[in-house]
Amino acid sequence: MKKTVLVSGGAGFIGSHVTVELSQAGYDVVIADNMSNCDETNYKGVCAILGRQLPFEKIDFCDAAAANDLFNRYKIDAVIHFAAFKAVGESVEQPLMYYKNNLDSFLNVLECARVHGTNVLFSSSATVYGEPDETPVTETSPRKPATSPYGNTKQMCEDFLRDCVAAYGMHGIALRYFNPIGAHPSALIGELPRGIPNNLVPFITQTAIGKRECLNIFGDDYPTPDGTCLRDYIDITDLAKAHVCAVTRMIEGKMDEPYEIFNIGTGRPVSVLELVNSFERVNGIKLNYRIAPRRPGDVTAVWADPTLAQQKLGWKAVRSVDETLASAWAWEKRLAEAAE
Ligand code: UFG
């Protein structure tokens, strides 16, 4: 019997890629999204890649009755929870909106999972490590006080899951993503930032296509080899595949502990300047960029030790930065063609 996975936020950037990988691995997937931060582009792209329509439920998980109804209508073996607001700066300006949305929705998912005996996968973030004392970070590296309400919701949701697993005999996994970038090799799904992008790669591709005049590189005086920040950029398809491994581990009862945490990164630090230079070289483009002041809240360097995910999930990032940057550019060009 095929197992069913509910993907909340399944029409978004990460959710759509995870939906494709789960479907291709043989899972039935139900996509649920309130479409507050996206349009139908990625949902249509997912269906085009798979060559069939997937069940889609327009639902806001802050609505407890609607969430409950959804869990009653499908027999869900695992839920992957992506549905959340994700802009760091906006969360500082509107903390209540972030706390209400990101916490309420996950609490409702947890309540449904408790009642229905559903496995839970939570999409966490390397942001929980803050400015680490040592790099690379392992899953046992200390979590630092969050520097934004957004980061705080990631830490709180991890704790909600840990406590529910302990109290109710549930099973849960938190995946801590480093910096997801790129797009599906088909260029049919990808990142669709609203307004001016906060993240580096969408800003690079929008500058390359002419939507933005100039890329600001935030700081070149950090204590790193070239003075710019170091991050662990992980290909979105590689990252999506980690979810298939984690869901399978839960559904097949192969967990060592009922609550587990895994870093999902490459283990490879890349500087902002290196990434920009790679983008230029791989795609044969000269980018207009300048060195700008540091961005408040940025940490100097953070990258993953991904050993645990390799050992326990049997997962490893395989795509090169070059391949991923080519996919990001192919996606931006496709968006431009579609807009013509
Ligand atoms: N950067 C620039 N110019 C830009 C955008 C980013 O120089 O226009 C730099 C940043 O200063 C940073 C690096 O590129 O050094 C990466 O920045 P991103 O915004 O792409 O990613 P972050 O590492 O800041 O963000 C990640 C996750 C977020 C998470 C955040 C918390 O993508 O979801 O860590 O710190 F909230």
Where residue 217 sits, what CATH number does that domain have? 3.90.25.10
Contacts with 22 (C-beta within 8 Å, 6 or more apart), sequence order: 5, 7, 29, 243, 244, 247
pTM: 0.98
Residues 224, 236: one domain?
no
Residues 302, 253: one domain?
no
Where residue 48 sits, what CATH number does that domain have? 3.40.50.720
If you take atom 35 of ligand 1, which residue's CA is the nearest one? 127
In a domain, 195, yes or no: no
Residues 217, 252: one domain?
no
Amino acid at 80: I
Indicate the number of domains in the chain.
Answer: 2
Q: How far is the CA of 160 from the centre of ligand 1 (A)?
A: 26
Residues 208, 289: one domain?
yes
Residues 165, 27: one domain?
yes
Tokens of residue 223, six digits: 């204590």
In angstroms, rounded to a whole number, what is the distance separating the alpha carbons of residues 100 and 125?
Answer: 19
The domain of 27 spans 4-182+232-266
Give, for all 340 residues of the chain, the pLDDT tens digit: 899 999 999 999 999 999 999 999 999 999 999 999 999 999 999 999 999 999 999 999 999 999 999 999 999 999 999 999 999 999 999 999 999 999 999 999 999 999 999 999 999 999 999 999 999 999 999 999 998 999 999 999 999 999 999 999 999 999 999 999 999 999 999 999 989 999 999 999 999 999 999 999 999 999 999 999 999 999 999 999 999 999 999 999 999 999 999 999 999 999 999 999 999 999 999 999 999 999 998 999 999 999 999 999 999 999 999 999 999 999 999 999 998 8
Report the residue among 131, 143, 199 best suited for mutation to probe ligand 1: largest number of ligand atoms under 8 A from its CB. 199
Whether the bond between 95 and the residue before it is cis, its omega within 30 degrees of 0, is no
Residues 102, 244: one domain?
yes
Residues 66, 207: one domain?
no
CB atoms < 10 A from the CB of 53, how many?
Answer: 10
Tokens of residue 135, six digits: 């790099």
In a domain, 335, yes or no: yes
In a domain, 97, yes or no: yes
Residues 99, 143: one domain?
yes
Residues 275, 159: one domain?
no
Q: How far is the CA of 270 from the centre of ligand 1 (A)?
A: 12
Strand partners for 29: 5
* Residue 204 in contact with ligand 1 by CB distance below 6 A: no
Q: Residue-wise over 264-301: b if at least 16 C-beta within 10 A, else e? A: bbbbbbbbbbbbbebbbebbeeeeebeeeeeeeeebeb
Residues 67, 27: one domain?
yes
In a domain, 193, yes or no: no
Q: Identify the pLDDT of residue 150.
A: 97
In a domain, 188, yes or no: no
In a domain, 191, yes or no: no
In a domain, 275, yes or no: yes
Q: How far is the CA of 200 from the centre of ligand 1 (A)?
A: 6
Provide the phi-psi class of 326: left if phi over 0, else alpha when psi is between -120 and 50, else beta.
alpha
In a domain, 293, yes or no: yes
Tokens 């649920």, located at residue: 32
Q: How far is the CA of 193 from the centre of ligand 1 (A)?
A: 14
Residues 256, 274: one domain?
no
Residues 48, 84: one domain?
yes
Tokens of residue 286, six digits: 């000269």
Report the residue among 82, 91, 211, 272 best suited for mutation to probe ligand 1: largest number of ligand atoms under 8 A from its CB. 272
Write out the catalytic residue numbers.
150
